[in-house]
Structures are given as structure tokens and as C-alpha cells.
Structure 1
């Protein structure tokens, strides 16, 4: 296998790290020196070789460790994965999408063999070799959505489309940025986006919903989102706040570079063929400030973004308490030089 998987943890001793190759492909989310919440949707088409956009579902050096962390979260709180009964077909749609994509894009790691409805799935990194009957839930150890998302990086929600709206009614959510599947399940599109500030009286989401209701099968889209987290912890759910929330009070100028992380979400949306549901994969990437500033353009740009960010967004992104500390630390890496448009590293 071409990818060398890290042996790392996202809790307690926090041995998570990005290799030089991982840093080079990190999806820095800011194309300009200022930021305002927007839909910023573009077609999810294959990107340049080696980038996080190269394949439909990115698999990187953190894959095995992230799947181990997911299993730990689910063992502690099974409600992180839920699916209402009518969403089972959408789960099969998602299983097929991920299996076909990974077998096509990473043939050295994943195999999918079909003989009618008799399928064999091989996941070499996780040591899985299962044969099952497609659309027969009794032939899998879990429901179809849970089975495949235990083997896929990032979180997933499934939206049912009805009444000219989208309803979040299934999901696997173990690496979220301070939101709860158990709280949101059953909500409509506007209800689960209600906490977002400065959204133009939700007008931005009116437009986004109108667009998504017309999303076509075979034409997925993507966007970036971002937030902050202290320490490289994937599971920052409200349910576990007592474990990670107090860490915000422990930063100082000596440790902020190593402990403060930019948390970037590559969000994609796919229309599913049989159920007509929409799947919303949310892939999380983490980078420490001390690694981020090794790319001079990124260090300068993040300093400027955080300086100019409206206070409401700093609160929503979870770093208002430490905003002055973060900007003061980043200031030493901002020489005032202009930065070229685009999120890529090269000036």
C-alpha cells in the first residue's frame, strides 16, 4: 500500500501528527485575507494528483487511527450513529457509493467484487473481508450506513427530501465541531442551521436549500468550513464537553503553537440514486499552528483572517476566549507582505 498509516491518538496523550507529505496537501481554507460565512459551493470534481480533491473520498495517513477513534466513541456512546427506519435504503445507497469509489480510487487497499446481489468487500488497512447480500441487512454486522461509515473518515449525515425541504434523519457523527446528531436528528434544513450567526436573516440558507433540492445524481458538490480546537481532538461533541471544553483555559504564549489547531472541514454533498436522499460527508483535517506557520503564506493569512473576523463568528467558531492570544502569537509570522489569492501554499 502506498500510504504509510500513522499510529496516533486523538485523545489523552494526543500523538496525532501530520507528516511533511500531509502538511503539503493540507486543505487550507482561506483564499483571501478576510473571511465571511458563505455557501462557497463548487462542483466536487477530481483535483490535482495528491490533493484532498483527487478522489471522491480522501484516504490519508490518519485513516486507521481515525477509524479506531470512531470505534472508541461508538463504544462509549452508540447514539452517535442513528438512522430512522425509512432511511435504510439511503444507507445502502451510501454503502454502494463509498465501496465503489474506494475500490476504484484505491485498488491497492480496497476491493469490491459483485456477483448479482452477492458482494464481497475487502478493506486491507482494517483487515476486513466480508461477503454479504446487497439490500439484505441481516447479512451485515451493522446496518448498511453504520457498516460502511465505520470504515470511512469524516462524519456523515443523510437528508431525506420531502415537503420542499431536507430533513436530517440518519448519520454517523463522531468527529463533529460542537454539535449533536442526537439533538439535530429529525430537524429540517433551517432548524439545524439556526445557530449560524451573520447569515443574512437565514437568506443564505434559503438560497442553499433551493440549490440542494435541485442537486442531481452524479453531480456532487463541495465546500470548505473551518473552526478551531485546542489539542488534536476529533470528538468535540456537546456530549463530551467536560472532557475538552476546559482545555481552552490552559493556553499561553509558550504552548499555543503546539496545542492550538485549525480544524478544516471538506464538506461534500451527493444525491443518492434509489432513495433520492442527499448524503453530506464532513471530512475533518487538523493542523497545529506551529505546523501551519511553516507555510509563510498561511501564517500571514490566518493572522489577518482572525484579526478581522466579526466577534459573532469568533464566538461561533469557538475561540473568542483566546482570540487575542492567537492573534498575538500569529503576529510574529506576519511580515506585512501581500498574499496572492487562493488557498494553495505557493505565493
Structure 2
């Protein structure tokens, strides 16, 4: 099953974003047990998942492609600093261009094509009506920086992590739909520094195990994990920079509108070793589903109720759910026969 991109819908203001029945069925539901605890939960990103699933291809292109690219353009116009790269990351950004273009053209030939004659490349993005002749490695042959050029054409946020001294540093990225974090703030930070706010993980040694695992990732063996939170309205950009636009939405949830307004927000996070620079490309692909749509799957509704009901208080606070968490639990309880 392939889902073709549909016309542009909005992730702000009137929130016209909707999921089709097919998009709901392929949503990456994150709860595998009745209780949720923070964990690394890393597994190989084998790119051979079930047909039509979000794990079938290295990069998932779905019905929201045009909408997300339109949202990215709006965010970058408002704040160009959402895309940044330190000078020593130039090669890593070209690594990303090759990885993304090669994957999209191989997996979605009806939408993308890439031809190469040595360092002279031709790229065609049929969905955005973009054609470009450029010289690989020569930034002057592109209309903007390599990172921004490719970042404007692929769903999800991207951070490029430089590896040195047995640690990872967030030294480049294009991040326009973050879940309450800021690329500008985290830029240059080490792995443990940008994960510092996560509760309960440091005491359990999760960071140390994760870092050791990630720094050992080999070329051609990407890994993935799922992360989640709850977002009010179908809003992609919940960054600290735009907090005045969305912070008060947490107070707008009522028992009457909780199913419509509260969205489960799931990130499929993939880490892939780049061959030239040895950097890690960290893609953060975000999916949104309203509780109203989620409960059309009875198993999801029951499992999410149990996970929310037993969620530790520090995680409720860390994820910013305090104001509406009880209403979410109460709403979902009606779909759980043992509550």
C-alpha cells in the first residue's frame, strides 16, 4: 500500500490537518506494554517492514508530504536559524544529500529521480516541481546551503551529530517541528547535555548505555527508536521559540473536546552512519493522531488508557501533560473494560 500525498493542510491557525483511514491504520503506535517507562528501545532499522508500514522504507513519504513541506517553509521564513551547520560539518551535510536523494529516488521513483555523471548530479523532485543540476561537494552550485536544500524536501527533522572523543555533538540540523526543544539552544551540546532534562533516565544508566551503542553504529546498519508525547491540536511546531503561540493551548482542553484536541505525537527516530564524514544522521519523523481517531482501534485505546493511567508523575510533568492528563485518562477509560 502506498499513500499518495494529498493537497496542503495546515498545522496552525485553523488546523485543517486530518488523517485518512489508511494513515490511521499505519500509525506507529508506541506502547508495547500496559505500562510505559523511559527506555532506549533501540532496534535495527531494517527497511523491510510490512508493506505500507512506516518502517517499509528508509525514509517514509506519506499523504502529509506537501503539508509538511509547506509548514517547513513557513517556519524557516519566520526563523531562518532553525537550520544551522557549523563549518566542520560541511562534508556531513553532503553525506546527508547523497543519503536522502539516493533513498528517495530508489524507494519512490514515481516522485523522485537522481542521475549522476561523476560529481555532476541531476535531481528531480516531481512532487515539489524542483529540478536541479549541481556539482556534488560544491555548495555554490545549489540555491541554498546543502542542508537546507535537502531538508526542505524530506519529511521530518534532522540533526547531524559529529562524533569525537567517544561522544556525540549536535553540530548541524534543520529542525522545524520539534516537541518542546530548540536546535539553537542545543547546538554544540554533547549527548548527555542535550538529554539532561529527561527524568529518571540518568539514575538508571540509560544514557551511558545508549551512547556506547550509538557511537558503535556502522555504515549501512541504521537503528531506530520511537519517542512520544501528547500535543494539543495538530501542531507540528511546538518549539520554545514559538511557545507564546501554543503554550496556552494546554489550558483549552475540556472533557468535551479532549478527544478532538489532544493528539498522540510519535517520533520515529533513525540514526544512520554517514560514510565520508563518520557523522550520524539523526532523523526525527513526526506522526500525529487525535485521540478521536486513535480509539477507532480498540486495542490501541485499551493499551493507551493503561499506559496513561500508570504513567509516573515525573514523566507526566516532563512531557508537559499535567493540566490535561486526568482528562485523557478519564476519556480513554471508557474503552478499557478493566479500568
Per the shorter chain, which TM-score range? over 0.9
* Distance in 1 between residues matched to 2:17 and 2:336, nearest whole Å: 27
- Name the counterpart of 2:33: 32
1:60 to 2:62 alignment: yes
**Which range moved further: 244-253 or 317-326?**
317-326
Residue number among 139, 142, 149 corresponding to 2:141 in the alignment = 139
Question: 2:310 corresponds to which residue?
Answer: 308
Structure 1 distance, partners of 2:5, 2:193, is: 41
Instruction: Report the counterpart of residue 222 of structure 2 in structure 1.
Output: 220
Per the alignment, in what secondary structure is the counterpart of residue 226 of structure 1? strand
Question: In the alignment, which residue of structure 1 is the partner of 2:232?
Answer: 230
Q: Distance in 1 between matches of 2:139 and 2:45?
A: 30
SS at match of 2:236: coil
RMSD: 1.1
Shift of 1:167: 0.6
The residue number in structure 1 matching 2:108 is 106
Distance 2:258 2:190 in 1: 38
Task: Select which of 149, 152, 155 maps to 2:151.
Answer: 149
Q: What's the offset of the Cα at 1:336? A: 2.3
Give runs of aligned pairs for residues 1-347 of structure 1, distance below 5 A: 3-45=4-46, 46-201=48-203, 203-336=205-338
Equivalent residues of 2:94, 2:146 under 8 A apart: yes
Distance 1:186 1:126, change over 3 A: same
* Cα shift readout 1:81-138 (whole Å, capped 9, x = no counterpart): 1000110100000000000000000000000011111101000111101110000000
Work out the CA distance in 2 between the residues paired with 1:7 and 1:174: 17
Inter-partner Cα distance in structure 2 for 1:252 and 1:170: 40
Q: Report runs of 4+ in structure 1 exceeding 4 Å deviation.
A: none
Q: Which residue of 2 aligns with 1:342?
A: none
Q: CA deviation at 1:10?
A: 0.2
- Structure 2 gap ranges (5+): none
Whether the 8 Å CA contact 2:120–2:134 is kept in 1: the answer is yes
Secondary structure in 1 aligned to 2:327? helix
The CA distance in 1 between the partners of 2:104 and 2:154, in whole Å, is 10
Residue correspondences, number? 337
Deviation at 1:164, TM superposition (A): 1.2
Deviation, structure 1 residue 145: 1.2
Within 1, Cα distance between the matches of 2:22 and 2:225? 23
- Listed as ranges, the gaps of 5+ residues in structure 1 are 338-347
